[in-house]
Every structure is written in structure tokens, then in C-alpha cells.
Amino acid sequence: MLSLDENFDNLSIINSATNEKLLEIEIPEGQDKLIKKLKEVFPEESKAIDEYVEISFPPKYEIIPVIILKCFPFIFSKLFKYLVAPKFMNYVHTSIGQALDKLTSNQLLKSAICYIGIDYGSNPKATPLYEHSMIHNIFKNGGHIPKEGADDIVESLIKVIRKGGGDVMSKANVASIHINKEGKCGGVCVLKNKDSIIIESPIVISSAGVYNTYSKLIPRPIREKLGYNHFKYTPSYSVQATFLGYDGTIEELGLKFQNYFIMTNPDFDGQFTRYMESDGDIDPKNGIDIPILIANLRPYNNKVSMTILSFANHAWFQEWNHQRVGQRSVDYEDLKERIANRALELLYMKHPQLENRHSVMSTSSPITFNHYLSNNFGDYMGFKRVVGNDDGVFRWGRPMSNLENLFLVGQDIFAGGVQGAMLSALITCGCVLRRNLFDDLAKAVEEMKKWKALLFCFK
């Protein structure tokens, strides 16, 4: 893994209607350093910052009851969730926007806290406090990326799977869940050309997301019998991605190894709502602009790749969803290009030295996610966590399905993003094995620390 700089996030807040620069802050790794930095930038908001930390960084034991509730049958969580996890349920019914409104009226401070909204695919007033808190806790100790990119994760998993006697199939289109004679999940049906091949398995773990699993992969008669015909799915907001390639190192490009966030208005919610309710036409002077973007860097052999993510509405592109990738209409390409060009303009306001310096550029849209990830609504973060939606947490966001031997894993189960998906794997595998894997992981980490300390003594 590659570790980003100690100040791993860099946030710039501007008013794009006037091009006024309002705030620039580097976010350091470590909770204590973050608190210190926020108080340095907002000295008059010291009390509000302390109160925010108290609600956003709860003790670790408070998440354990939630994991237990997720691993038990739904009827258990339905009856006892307020008794077992009262504070968490308050977080389900309170948005991070509401929580901050009670603490401060300082919009810049709120933005300095909620800039990670693009990491969980939503805006402050629509995001439950627990979702924001989970993501903030994941990133509080800094930023890290796979050294060779996402392939590192895949190749590592394949090695472990094959070591255990398993194998991995690519381009294997899973058509449905196979139901055996006992009415249980007994494997999957895979399409090969026009034929259907049944691969039997005593356990199936689906990482296809709750929507695909419950609405598409489980056969309709079984779906209705299990109560999944009433499945209500709210997709997360989508993004547009712009990929850039540069010749030169990060230092030669005048950058730091950070995640760069650019926010176009301190009123995140207002800017977000105006933009997402538009038809995709950007008009900064009238308050319609990309609310926030993030630019991620990855160095490789004296070159740097940059990925820019900015919110986009799936509905803007839906009419071209049926067209083949690479062969979509001129209108589609024009809309995609307009949004990408605006993202670049914002980037160049922050880093003018990068203008026209990229050697390669490619852009995707929300419907690109549909094609490559088998999404349905450009929902790269899975289902949207909605304030007050208990079902989204405990009915649908559970590792165990109502179909015996079928389990689910991924960001729908725990939290959005790669880290949330990885943590969900511990929950799901723990359910399959009937074992506390979080405890196993904690012990393994402690053992690694002991060995590192021992090796350091011998140096």
C-alpha cells in the first residue's frame, strides 16, 4: 500500500458565482491533529468542534450491538433495536446536517466537516449521522491506496482463494441463484453462450448488491415467497469520472500526494440541490455548479494518473443507456464533455500549472457504471442511506438473506466505499463461520505489532 502525505486531504472552498476564495485547509491524519487543525482555522468554534468530535467519533463498543443486530434474524432487530442500540438508532434518524445545525451556524466549518460527502455519495441534510460517522472514522488515520491500483486487491484475493482450493472465473455471467430440491440456495446458474450451467455450492455469497440479488438473481416465485417483491430500493447518487494521465512525478507537477477536494459554495446542501435538480447545464453565476469534486492521484514510474469524481444525475444520461459503450450519440458526448470541462476549470483554478499538461484524458458517466459494474441507476455507492430508514439498515443491509444458504457482502451491508465493503466481509464471513472475525483481526494486528517491535530491536 502507498500512504498519502500526513496531510492527506486538501480542501478548497470557493464561491464560484464570484470566484472568491473562501478557505483552504489541509486535513491531517490522526484524530487529535484534526481537532487541533480545525481549532486553529476556526478558533471561535472550539466548543462546536469538541461537541462534533463527541458525536462523530464514538467509542468502538457502540458499533458492536449494531453488528450483532445485523447478524441475527430481522425480527430480532425489529423488536430490540431501540433497546440494544439506542444511540445508533438516534444516529439513523438524525442527519449530519441537522446535527451540525445544532452546533454552529458557521457554513465554512460545516463544509470542512462534510466535504467527505462525495465519499459516501450524498449531501449533509440527506445523510444519516451514522453513515458520516462511519466514513469519517475509516479515514481519520490517513489515506492509503493500493501500490499497483485496484488490481492489487483482486490479485491478492485470487491467491487466497486458489490457496484454499477455489478458483476465479471472469466473464461468467451469473443469470440467477439456483434453488435446490429442498427450496434452499444451492449454487448459481451461469450463462455460457446460450446455455445455462448450474454450479452447485452449499453456500453462496453475493457481492452483486442488494438490488441485483433480490430483484434479479432470486427467481421470481421464490422472491415473492420470501417477501422480496416489496423490496424498496433508493439508489445512491451517481458521479461522473474524468481520468487524466500526466508525464512527470507528483513533485514535478507542483502537487502533493493528497486527495484534492474543491467545493464551489460553502452551502453544500443548497449548491447540491440546485445542481442535481438542473438538467445538467452549468451556470455558476446563478448558483448552478458542480457542488464538490475530488481529485485522486496515483504515481507510477515517473507518471501520475488522476481521477476526478464529481456528482452527476443518472437521469441526465438515462435516455442513452440502451446504446452501446463507445457508440453513444453526439448529444451524450456533449453533455459528458461539458461536465468534464467544468471539472477541469475548477481544477485549474486550484492548480493553474496543470492546464493543458495532461497527455491522456477519458471521461465516464453514470451509465458507464451500469455497463461495467452491472449497476442499474449509476449507483456506484449502492443503496442510499436515508435518514430514518430503519429497513435500509436492518432489513436489506443484512449479511444473511431470507433464503437459506444465501449471504450478501459489500458496501450495502455496512458502509459505502472500498473500506466499507471490506469491513462487511468480516461481518458476512463471521456469519457463515459463526465466529467473531473482528476479534481475530484485532489479535492478528497485535501479533504483527509485537513482531515488528521485535524486529526493530534486532536492527
Instruction: Please write the tens of the pLDDT for every residue from 155-212.
Output: 888 999 999 898 888 888 899 999 999 999 999 999 887 788 999 999 999 999 999 9
Cβ proximity of 105 and 434 under 8 Å: no
Q: What percent of the chain has pLDDT over 70?
A: 97
On whether both 286 and 215 belong to a single domain, the answer is: no
Question: Is residue 140 one of the residues assigned to a domain?
Answer: no
On whether both 243 and 333 belong to a single domain, the answer is: yes
**End-of-domain residue from the set 357, 372, 395:** 357
- Residue 125 CA, chain-centre distance (Å), reads 18
pLDDT greater than 90 at residue 110? yes
On whether both 228 and 286 belong to a single domain, the answer is: no
Q: What percent of the chain has pLDDT over 90?
A: 55
Listed residue (67, 68, 420, 403) closest to 205, CA to CA: 403
pLDDT greater than 60 at residue 85? yes
**End-of-domain residue from the set 314, 342, 357:** 357
Q: How far apart are CA 183 and CA 170, in angstroms?
A: 28
Which CATH number belongs to the domain containing residue 173 in this structure? 3.50.50
The confidence band for 454, taking pLDDT boundaries of 50, 70 and 90, is: low
Point out the least confidently predicted range of 86-95, 133-142, 307-316, 327-336.
133-142
| Domain span including residue 420 | 169-233+381-458
CA distances from 113 to 10, 102, 133, 303, 433 (A): 12, 14, 11, 32, 38
Question: Is residue 88 one of the residues assigned to a domain?
Answer: no
CB-based burial label for 407 (10 Å; 0-12, 13-18, 19+): buried
Taking all residues of the chain, what is their mean pLDDT, rounded to a whole number?
89
Edge to edge, what strands does the sheet with 303-312 contain?
Answer: 20-28, 7-15, 259-263, 292-300, 303-312, 238-247, 360-363
Question: Is residue 111 one of the residues assigned to a domain?
Answer: no
Cell numbers given for 5: 502525505
On whether both 316 and 391 belong to a single domain, the answer is: no
pLDDT digits (tens, 9 = 90+) for 217-249: 999 889 888 888 777 888 888 999 999 999 999
Half-sphere exposure of 85 (CA within 13 A, CB side): 27
On whether both 197 and 241 belong to a single domain, the answer is: no
Q: C-alpha dihedral over 405, 406, 407, 410, to 10 degrees?
A: 160
Radius of gyration, CA atoms only, the chain: 23
Cβ proximity of 421 and 409 under 8 Å: yes
Residue 420 host element (H or E): helix 417-433
Q: How far apart are CA 175 and CA 377, in angstroms?
A: 19
pLDDT greater than 70 at residue 401? yes
On whether both 343 and 252 belong to a single domain, the answer is: yes
Buried b (16+ CB within 10 A) or exposed e, 81-93: beebbeebbebbe
pLDDT digits (tens, 9 = 90+) for 137-165: 878 888 888 877 778 888 888 999 999 89
On whether both 224 and 256 belong to a single domain, the answer is: no
Work out the average pLDDT over 68-97: 89
On whether both 353 and 247 belong to a single domain, the answer is: yes
How much of the chain is helix, strand and coil, in % rounded to 5?
A: 45, 20, 35
Q: Which residues pair with 305 in a beta bridge?
A: 245, 298
Q: Which residues pair with 400 in a beta bridge?
A: 407
Cβ proximity of 404 and 185 under 8 Å: yes
- Residue 116 CA, chain-centre distance (Å), reads 10
pLDDT greater than 70 at residue 77? yes
Cell numbers given for 153: 486487491
CA distances from 197 to 172, 193, 406 (A): 10, 10, 19
pLDDT greater than 80 at residue 450? no
pLDDT at 107: 95
Query: Residue 29 gets which letter from DSSP?
Result: S
On whether both 210 and 245 belong to a single domain, the answer is: no
Cβ proximity of 352 and 358 under 8 Å: no
**End-of-domain residue from the set 310, 342, 357:** 357
Question: Is residue 338 one of the residues assigned to a domain?
Answer: yes
> Can you tell me which residue has the cell 438515462?
318
pLDDT at 141: 83
On whether both 407 and 303 belong to a single domain, the answer is: no
On whether both 319 and 418 belong to a single domain, the answer is: no
On whether both 181 and 292 belong to a single domain, the answer is: no
Cell numbers given for 67: 453488528
pLDDT greater than 70 at residue 360? yes
Cell numbers given for 450: 509485537
Question: Is residue 197 one of the residues assigned to a domain?
Answer: yes
Number of independent structural domains in the chain: 2
Edge to edge, what strands does the sheet with 173-179 contain?
Answer: 173-179, 185-192, 195-200
Question: Is residue 15 one of the residues assigned to a domain?
Answer: yes
Threshold 0.85, pTM exceeds: yes
CB-based burial label for 432 (10 Å; 0-12, 13-18, 19+): middle
pLDDT greater than 80 at residue 455? no
- The type of residue at 430 is G
Of 372 and 409, the structure prediction assigns the larger pLDDT to 409
Cβ proximity of 62 and 87 under 8 Å: yes
Q: How far apart are CA 120 and CA 380, in angstroms?
A: 10
Work out the average pLDDT over 356-369: 93
- The type of residue at 300 is Y
Cell numbers given for 410: 459489500
Beta strands in 234-282 (DSSP E): 238-247, 259-263
Question: Is residue 320 one of the residues assigned to a domain?
Answer: yes
Beta strands in 185-315 (DSSP E): 185-192, 195-200, 204-206, 238-247, 259-263, 292-300, 303-312
pLDDT at 179: 94
pLDDT greater than 80 at residue 70? yes
Q: At what angle do helices 107-114 and 268-276 cross, to 10 degrees?
A: 70
pLDDT greater than 60 at residue 130? yes
Listed residue (404, 379, 423, 445) closest to 66, CA to CA: 423
- DSSP track, 55-88: HHS--GGGGHHHHHHHHS-HHHHHHHHHHH-HHH
Listed residue (162, 26, 169, 47) closest to 106, CA to CA: 47
The confidence band for 458, taking pLDDT boundaries of 50, 70 and 90, is: low
pLDDT at 456: 57
Question: Is residue 33 one of the residues assigned to a domain?
Answer: no
